[in-house]
Amino acid sequence: MTDTGTARDLSVAMTAADPDYLPFHPAPSKPAFRPPEGAVDAHCHVFGPVATFPFSPRRKYTPVDAPAETLFALRDHLGLSRNVIVQATCHGSDNSAMLDAIARSGGRARGVAVIDVDTSEAELERLHAGGVRGVRFNFLKRLVGDAPKGDYIRIAERIAALGWHIVVYFESHELADLEPFITSLPGTIVIDHMGRPEVEDGLDGAGFAAVQRLMASDPRFWIKVSCPERLTVAGPPYDDVVPFARRLVESFPDRVLWGTDWPHPNMKSHVPDEGHLVDMIPLIAPTEDLQRRLLIDNPMRLYWPEEEGA
C-alpha cells in the first residue's frame, strides 16, 4: 500500500465479482475537512476475502473483496476513529467476516448482524460478545427474497433482551406499506440511507415527507444520512442530496448517524471518492455542535454506550 500524500492506494486483487459492479475507489482523496477526534463511520461493510469467508449461495450480487485491513486503512486515511460494520446481504446470515473484522479492530469497530429466526441463543450471545449491537432487516427486493413478517417479529423479540436495536433498509416509496409493520417493532429502529428518498421529487416529495413524519412522530426512530452516491440524480459532487441530509441533521440532531457506505456494493454509475464524502460533512452538519452529535455523541450512544462521555 503506498501513500501518495493526497490519495491512498486501497486497491485489492479482484475476485470473480459481477462484471457490471464497479470496485471501490482505489485511491480516495485526502479530505480537507478534519472530522473531530473520535468520529464514527456508522455504516460500512467488509466483504470476504472470499477465500476465507465465502459469500452466501443465495446472494443477489457478488462484490469485490473488501477486507478489514482495507477498511481500517480507509478509516485512518479519512481521519475517522471507529467503524460500525453492517452485515450486507451477500454474506447472508453468516456474520463471520464482520466478526473477524471487529475482533481485529482493537475495540474500534462494532457490528450490525443479520440473523435467522432460528439462530441459537448461544450464537446470539457469541455475536454480542463479538461486538454486535443491532440486527438488520433488509426490505429491498433487488437484494433479498421476501421473509415472513412473523420471522422479523420473533427476531425483534429475541434481540430486545440483548439491548440491540433494529436497522431497516427500505425505499421511501415503500414506506406507506411498511410503516404499520415497522412501527409495531419494539425498541430503537434505525433507518438506512435517509429512507432512500426520490431526490428528483425534492424535499417536499411524498416519500421524503413520509420519512420525516415518521421521524417526527416516533422518537424511537433514528436515521442515517448516508449514501448520496446512490441517491443522487446529478452525480458527484452530490449537491442535489445535500439538502435532504441537512434537513434531517437539523431536524433530528440527536437521532442521526453518518457513514461512508464503503465499499458501496452494487454501484454501477460511478465510483464514489470517500474523501469527498467526508468533505460533505460540513455541508450537511454546518456547525461544530451538529458535527459532534452526528459523528460522535449519537453513534457512541448506540454502539459504545459504556464509553459514552468517558
273 is catalytic: no
Q: Is the Cβ–Cβ distance between 142 and 120 less than 8 Å?
A: no
Site for ligand 0GY in 178-207 (CB under 6 A): 192
CB closer to ligand 0GY out of 88 and 294: 88
Q: Which of 65, 261, 273, 289 is catalytic?
A: 261
Smallest separation (angstroms) from ligand 0GY to the CB of 97: 13
Q: Interface with ligand 0GY by CB under 6 A: which range of 156-164, 172-180, 246-254, 260-268?
A: 260-268
Q: Is the Cβ–Cβ distance between 230 and 195 less than 8 Å?
A: no
Task: Report the 10 Å Cβ neighbour count for 239.
Answer: 13
Measured between its terminal Cα atoms, the distance across the chain in Å is 34
Q: Interface with ligand 0GY by CB under 6 A: which range of 151-159, 203-211, 234-242, 259-267?
A: 259-267
Q: Is 90 in the site for ligand 0GY (CB under 6 A)?
A: yes
Residue with cell 481500517: 72
Q: Interface with ligand 0GY by CB under 6 A: which range of 11-19, 85-93, 181-189, 280-288?
A: 85-93
Smallest separation (angstroms) from ligand 0GY to the CB of 3: 27
**Cα distance between residue 72 and residue 14, in whole Å:** 19
Residue with cell 434531517: 248
- 3-class DSSP assignment, residue 135: strand
Q: Is 232 in the site for ligand 0GY (CB under 6 A)?
A: no
Q: Is 88 in the site for ligand 0GY (CB under 6 A)?
A: yes
Reading the block at residue 78, the C-alpha cell is 479519512
CB closer to ligand 0GY out of 9 and 116: 116
148-154 own/partner pairs: CB under 8 Å, 24+ apart: 149/181, 151/116, 151/117, 152/181, 152/185, 153/184, 153/185, 154/117
Q: Is 265 in the site for ligand 0GY (CB under 6 A)?
A: yes
Q: Is 291 in the site for ligand 0GY (CB under 6 A)?
A: no
**Cα distance between residue 100 and residue 117, in whole Å:** 23
Reading the block at residue 120, the C-alpha cell is 441459537
Distances (CA, A) of 149 to 99, 154, 175, 185: 27, 9, 15, 10
- 3-class DSSP assignment, residue 273: coil
Q: Phi and psi for 211 in degrees, rounded to 5?
A: -60, -45
Site string for ligand 0GY, 26-65 (x = CB under 6 A): -------------------x--------------------
Among 41, 65, 261, 273, binds ligand 0GY (CB under 6 A): 261
CB closer to ligand 0GY out of 90 and 155: 90
Q: Interface with ligand 0GY by CB under 6 A: which range of 84-92, 115-123, 126-134, 273-281?
A: 84-92
Smallest separation (angstroms) from ligand 0GY to the CB of 265: 5
Query: Which one-letter amino acid corresponds to residue 109?
Result: A
Name the residues annotated as catalytic: 261
Positions touching ligand 0GY (CB under 6 A) are 45, 88-90, 138, 143, 169, 192, 230, 261, 265-266
